[in-house]
Structure 1
Amino acid sequence: MVPMVSRAVKVKPATSPAGNKRSGGFTLLELLLVLALAAIMMVLVPMKVSSALPGTQLKSAARELAAGLRYARTHALISREESTLVLDTEKRNFRVSGRNRVYSIPASVDIDMLTAESETRGDHVGGIRFFPDGGSTGGRITVSHGERGFGVDVDWLTGKVRILDVEPEG
């Protein structure tokens, strides 16, 4: 085994070129540079976030519609009675059987619905109905913005709800 030897080491304080001791603070120039960079970031970051907002609203709308459809299916299975999601494309909202709440869809999102003729209620209102056995009338709700779109599909046989990437109709 090697014996350990301890040794004291002297550290010299930092000095400036003029030989004066320097403190550990920042210069005024360094502080102004950091403030300028922070100001630039405060201007640029919100611009990036706002340009991504329509895509976020689009995905959120698709997820909210899918959640509403899944709730309607679950409600039909548990309560043993039919349950419906009713969508109004003109007023940009939907509601689900068993809930009093009206869900709104952002104005930046385009909506289109394909459903069974028996579930249409005028030009702008339609629904997707779920049955106690798990089946449904089926259909698709498409939400889009610009070049991006999502289809919220409901299988008529199983009532399964899926969100798919789709190309918006031109």
Structure 2
Amino acid sequence: MIKRQTREGRRMNSKSEIQKAGNKRASRTSFVSQSTGFTLVEVVIVLIIMAVGAAIAGIAITSGSGLTIRTFARELSATLRYARNHAVSEKHAFCFVINKDEGLYRLYGDKVDEEGSLLPVIEKPIPEDIEVVINSEDEEFFEVEFFPHGNTSGGVIEVQNKKGKVLFISVNRLSGKIEVKERE
């Protein structure tokens, strides 16, 4: 006969008593294991909620940091560098034009239409929340010419957002170097 002692100190004599005690213990442990941990559905729901929260926080953080003005300044400087590089490599002049009345900036090469008018190589809008300040005789129109030897007509473009952040994009007359600087 198998004799075993329970936790309470009572002795179990029969095999059936031992099995019943084992079943009680097994049911207790299986219940505990079922109640701990998370299901896959619960984990996925929590991850989705965290992702949505992070996205909302990211939008809130970047919207106030002047991201649009920096992006626009980089875009303008990339267009100016493109103009200089292609003027040198293709051995003909390129002309960069900002027209504030139309809210556009364009880059012209040597492409013409049937009527003989120049066609823009690049034409993009100026974002509505950005103001372009032109310090020249005509404050609505700005032009920089890029020549085949790498030199330019030069100039400075000032871009400003509604929060007052100002960036300057300067084009060196002799070297054609383009720099973006913040107001100091």
When normalised by structure 2's length, the TM-score is 0.63
Aligned to 2:145: 129
- 1:46 matched to 2:56: yes
Matched with 2:81 is 70
Shift of 1:66: 0.4
Query: Over residues 85-142 of structure 1, what are the superposed CA-to-partner deviations in whole Å (9 max), with x where a residue is unaligned?
Result: 0001233211111343311121111211235x5xx5xx41121111222111111111
Which residue in 1 is equivalent to 2:134?
A: 113
- The structure having more radius of gyration, on CA atoms, is 2
Q: Which amino acid aligns with 1:131?
A: F
Bigger RCO (CA 8 Å, 6+ sep): 1
C-alpha displacement of 1:153: 0.6
Where structure 1 has 5 or more consecutive residues not aligned to the other structure, the ranges are 1-15
Identity %: 24
More helix by share: 2
Q: Secondary structure at the match of 2:121?
A: coil
Give 2:176's match in structure 1, choosing from 151, 159, 170. 159
Distance 1:101 1:135, change over 3 A: closer
How far has the Cα of 1:63 moved from its partner?
0.7
Residue correspondences, number:
144
Picking from 147, 154, 171, the partner of 1:138 is 154
Corresponding position: 1:79 with 2:90:
yes
Change (3 A) 1:132 1:86: same
The TM-score, its normalising length taken from structure 1, stands at 0.67
Distance 1:52 1:45 in 2: 11
CA contact (8 A) 2:144 2:155 kept: yes
